[in-house]
Amino acid sequence: MIFYVREMSWFVAAGRLSCPAIVDVDDFAEVVLDRWLDVNKNDRGDSIGRLEAGRMRRRSALLRRQHLIVARSGARRLVVSAADARRVPGANADIVPNAYPPTTEPGGVPLHERRNVLLFVGMHLYAPNDDAARWFVQAVLPLVVDHIPDAEFRIVGRANDRLFALNSNPNVTVTGPVDDVKDELSMARAVVVPLRVGGGSRIKILEAMASEVPVVSTTIGAEGLEVRPGTHALIADTPGELAEACVRALRLGADVTNMVEAGARLARQHSPEVIARRVQDIAAEVGRPAER
């Protein structure tokens, strides 16, 4: 049996090896391309014209065909979520979520004693994170401030000059890299993941849940995780609805407290030990000799 850590590795060996195979399909780049097209931007976050949009659509179609070739090969495929499994239907797909090592523990002052900080952690040189941060400041944050004037949108992680310029807004703090994100989580009243573009799953959400901090996210931001809206996190997509969810999280009602507890339980289900056992079970099944 061979375990391919990328689909491209399978393409290199296709036709040369006849043993059972498992292919880790962890990248649906066409989904990200399609979402950039939805907001009329390229994968650098810049506005696009018709010619570049056409090139992106052709690239997306090619990537979809590659997924179909692997699916039809009979190789066992590992995907991180039910959403990814639906993108290329077939009985040979197994859902294996991303693991999150429980290195982050609840800490800091109690939630109700913290400032009204909405924390967004990420590598903001990555265009989807940069787009999310700037969209939130422009479209969502003013609506939050109407209800909670001292609300602070705190953007943590590597950032470009365009993002640092947002520090001119009195309700925004762009920190750049920090020594330990746990310190930021320990003072945040809520974590927000306002992604409009992306694929895979968001480890930053599991990190927040393990730290017992309320999570507010767009649907795309929470994609790839078995997050139930209102049970594990507050999910909203329009500026008004996302602002309302942020206000609700900052006010820490009883429903939000219950949500934090459910989120912590969900994070524990992603421990490396649980995920490793899942992969071992699949490998044992694939490698088992066929009955004659």
Domain harbouring 217, CATH code: 3.40.50.2000
Residues 146 and 55 in one domain: no
Cα atoms found within 13 Å of the Cα of residue 280, Cβ hemisphere only: 6
Instruction: Tell whether 116 is covered by a domain.
Output: yes
Instruction: Tell whether 105 is covered by a domain.
Output: no
Residues 45 and 132 in one domain: no
Q: Is the whole-model pTM more than 0.75?
A: yes
Instruction: Tell whether 147 is covered by a domain.
Output: yes
Residues 191 and 52 in one domain: no
- Residue 268: CB partners within 8 Å, gap ≥ 6? 102, 210
List beta partners, residue 22.
3, 76
Instruction: Tell whether 292 is covered by a domain.
Output: no
Instruction: Tell whether 75 is covered by a domain.
Output: yes
Residues 29 and 90 in one domain: yes
Could you tell me if 37 and 56 are in contact, meaning their C-beta atoms sit under 8 angstroms apart? Answer: yes
- Please compute Rg for the chain using Cα positions: 21
Instruction: Tell whether 59 is covered by a domain.
Output: yes
Q: Which domain holds residue 26?
A: 2-97+271-287
Q: Is 34 exposed, middle or buried (0-12, 13-18, 19+ CB in 10 A)?
A: middle
Per residue of the chain (292 residues), give pLDDT as tens.
788 888 888 888 876 777 888 888 877 888 889 989 998 998 888 899 999 999 999 999 998 898 888 888 878 889 888 888 888 777 788 888 888 886 656 667 899 999 999 999 999 888 899 999 999 999 999 999 999 999 999 999 999 999 999 999 999 999 999 999 999 999 999 999 999 987 666 788 999 999 999 999 999 999 888 899 999 999 999 999 999 999 999 999 889 999 999 999 999 888 888 889 999 999 888 877 655 4
Residues 123 and 186 in one domain: yes
Number of neighbouring beta carbons within 10 Å of residue 120: 25
Query: What domain count does the chain have?
Result: 2
